[in-house]
Amino acid sequence: MKQRTLPTTLRDLCPRATRKPHRLPLPNPEHCPKFFLLFLNLLFLPFLAVGQDQKYWLSGGQNTSNTRNAASEIKLTPANVGTLKKNWEFVTGGDVSATPSVDDRSVYFPDWAGNLYRVDAKTGTERWRKQIKSYISPTINTTFARATPAVAGNALIIGTQQGRPKFGAYVLAINKVNGELLWKTQVDNHPDAIITQSAVVYGNKVYVGVSSQEEGSAAFIPGYQCCSFRGSMVCLDAGTGKVLWQTYMTPDLDGFSGNAIWGSTPVIDPKRNSVYVTTGNNYTVPQAILDIVAQGGSSEVVRAKIMNVAGSKENYFDALVAMDLSTGKVKWAKSVLPFDAWTVGCLFEGGANCPENAGPDYDFGQGPALFTVGSGSSRRDLLGAGQKSGIYWVVNPDNGADVWNTQVGPGGTLGGLQWGSAVDGKQIYTAVSNNDFTGHTMTKGPGAGTQVKGGFWAALDAATGAVKWENAAANPPAFGSYPEGAVAVNTGMVTVANGVVFAGAMDAPGTMYAFNAATGQKLWSFESGGSVNSGAAVVDGNVYWGSGYTNFGLGTGNNKLYSFGLSGANATARIGVSRESEESIRLYPTPATQVINIVSRDENNIRSIQLFDLAGRSVKEFGAVASPSYHLDLTALPAGTYLIKVATETSSITTKVVVVR
């Protein structure tokens, strides 16, 4: 896969808010339990919110670096993920497209019917459900949320989508124990303002971007005067909902609008005291910019001319943006295109409010991820994000300078790359939507040499951007007209956990997949019943995953949230080891040097022994052993950590062994 450079011509490139915190009045002293819960939330939230980078899934991106990597997962491995079985399924009122959040007891998530849920993580039993509209006003007919609730102490933090009647964008804090409202803040009173991004909580502050549906209103409301929404980043006090700062992505000048912040979650970088986001396209720009675009020229020439137009230096469209964590002041911004003004009207011949020489609508459809590559003196931090152009961009978080960019797949108005990639430090895992069904020949891994028309998945080297593997599913799109041989698009989020990549397809059956992170080999699949745009949350050997997505007419609906776990003897308390198996099969010593002894305590003969590296690659494999004991020779193995799977006639065990020299 070639490293992507910007095209030389635009022809090649392009085929006033208020915030009002609302505090709840102090409850009647007679209601001591309720007051006590609120008190605990406000007291401990600043301390509990800091520890998001842990084994639970407490925010949309799993951690404050938005890597979607369950780094502490040890039970699920490439060797045993093929045995995943359904623990339970929970029936909801509507589609579930958000990654659920998971703490030590519960799963929290919204659906497209306007509900917010707390479900027991172990049993799937409903603890409570609330209508999002009940938190806003009794006059609201309908509204919903589609983001991951951020868990911060005793609170869930989530933003609202558009309601009927329209009411602007709210951020809500909800008591996770009983579902009652703690506070609500209107962060933008523009009628079309919404919160699509999942919030992240750091210290005692909430960070979240504001988006809108105005580019749709511009197309479908007769006589609509386009446009006035300005995308922004908001920082709120996590205990009270007070807005601490708000930074806009367009200048407060006539002609500029758009630049929504809607992808994934923000990234928190304490080392640099920065918060990073990505932005979408302009809806409108001043006529002077449209005139420059009409004149044509190379990308560099057009960009240079546009920068001379008043306000352009503060117009952060299709950009990675770094802001001061404390003040919101923009430190640097990198717009990856010279121009991109677009509305939904541009999808139609003669559509209303489509700018002249409209751009390609190449938002950043996912938030950035902060990760580290290399070691020793070559160790460095990088910031990367996928764009609807199909390009994954990586920059220096200090200043936004280019490091590398790779054209992973074809771009499109629906991707390209959307919603969320995953990073484990070695590789970046991403889903390519390819909604135009452009033919793409895969070059590495299981898909090598195969042309795919539609969605596929890819892994990139995190340090260089080189493509490591590609793979695709086989099911056709859910419906609509598409080329012969086309496969369903993949718009959903990707998750990585201990050498396993989880990704869903937008096909009619709603197929969920697990891939070997090292090779791209398919290890497991499950037909969920409805197109999958949700991302998986992996916690302590269990996978929590939503199903159903009909937005934009892309897929089939469903009303399910699933929990999966390791089956049989692999449903273990210690890396897939059940208590029964642990008692019936003994392995010692560990750490080991020359030999590891394997003993079947119930005297059953050993049927098989398999040894894997941590990427799931087979290292050694032995057939039936006509004995209940075996001395496994380790002398040829280099020092390191391995997975060993031993099966007898009645039980099996999968665990880690450490070889030392």
pLDDT tens profile 454-508: 999 999 999 999 999 999 999 999 888 889 999 999 999 999 999 999 999 999 9
Q: Which residue has the higher pLDDT, 28 or 285?
A: 285
**164-191: b (≥16 Cβ within 10 Å) or e:** eebbbbbbbbbbbbebbebbbbbbbebb
pLDDT confidence of residue 644: 85
Percent of the chain with pLDDT over 70: 86
- Categorize the per-residue pLDDT at 619 as very low, low, confident or very high, splitting at 50, 70 and 90: confident
Q: At residue 61, does pLDDT exceed 50? A: yes
Which region, left, alpha or beta, applies to residue 83 given φ > 0 means left and ψ of -120 to 50 means alpha? alpha
377 inside domain? no
pLDDT given for residue 642 in this prediction: 78
Verify that 508 and 628 share a domain, yes or no: no
223 lies in the same domain as 317: yes
This prediction has a pTM of 0.81
Whether pLDDT at 68 is above 90: yes
**Which of 246-250, 482-486, 568-572 shows the lowest per-residue confidence on average (mean pLDDT)?**
568-572
Pair (102, 67) in one structural domain: yes
**Gap between the Cα atoms of 516 and 511, Å rounded:** 16
355-386 pLDDT, tens digit per residue, is 999 999 999 999 999 999 998 889 999 999 99
Provide the CATH number for the domain around residue 197.
Answer: 2.140.10.10
Over 50: is that where the pLDDT of 42 sits?
Answer: no
Whether 298 is covered by a domain: the verdict is yes
Q: Is 491 helix (H, G, I), strand (E, B) or coil?
A: coil
Determine the pLDDT at residue 210.
98
* Pairwise CA distance, residues 78 & 614, whole Å: 8
Q: Which of 502, 536, 566 is the last residue of a domain?
A: 566
Q: Is residue 140 part of a domain?
A: yes
Tell me: cis bond preceding 416? Omega within 30 of 0 counts: yes
Q: What percent of the chain has pLDDT over 90?
A: 72
Residues 518 and 655 both lie in one domain: no
Q: Which of 601, 600, 497, 490 is nearest to 543 (CA)?
A: 497
- The pLDDT assigned to 649 comes to 67
> Is 276 a member of any domain?
yes
Look at residue 604 and tell me if it is in a domain: yes
- Is residue 380 in a domain? no
Same domain for 126 and 190?
yes
> What average pLDDT does the segment 541-550 reach?
96
Residues 222 and 138 in one domain: yes
Q: Is residue 4 part of a domain?
A: no
Domain range enclosing 450: 21-368+410-566
Final residue belonging to a domain, choices 566, 594, 618:
566
Interacting residues of 342 by C-beta distance below 8 A, sequence separation 6+: 215, 281, 282, 283, 354, 355, 358, 359, 360, 361
At 148, phi and psi to the nearest 5?
A: -75, 125
Same domain, 526 and 630: no
278 forms beta bridges with: 320
Say yes or no: 165 and 198 in one domain: yes
Mean pLDDT score across all residues of the chain:
87
Q: Is the pLDDT of residue 571 over 90?
A: no
Q: Residue 590: its pLDDT value, please?
A: 64
In this structure, the answer to whether residues 68 and 106 fall within a common structural domain is yes
pLDDT tens digits for range 106-141 = 999 999 999 999 999 999 999 999 999 999 988 888
Count the domains in the chain. 2
Residue 378 within a domain: no
Element (H, E) at 583: helix 579-584
Question: For the segment 414-470, what is each residue's pLDDT rounded down to a tens digit?
Answer: 889 999 999 999 999 999 999 999 999 999 999 999 999 999 999 999 999 999 999
Q: What pLDDT, on the 0 to 100 scale, is given for residue 88?
A: 98
Instruction: Please check whether residues 559 and 594 belong to one and the same domain.
Output: no
Which residues touch 39 (CB under 8 Å, ≥6 apart)? Answer: none
Are residues 541 and 588 part of one domain?
no
Tell me which of 566, 595, 620 is where a domain ends. Answer: 566
- Give the domain CATH number at 637: 2.60.40.3080
Q: Is the pLDDT at 197 greater than 50, yes or no?
A: yes
Identify the band that residue 103 occupies on the pLDDT scale cut at 50, 70 and 90. very high
Same domain (yes/no): 435, 331: yes
- pLDDT reported for residue 48: 38
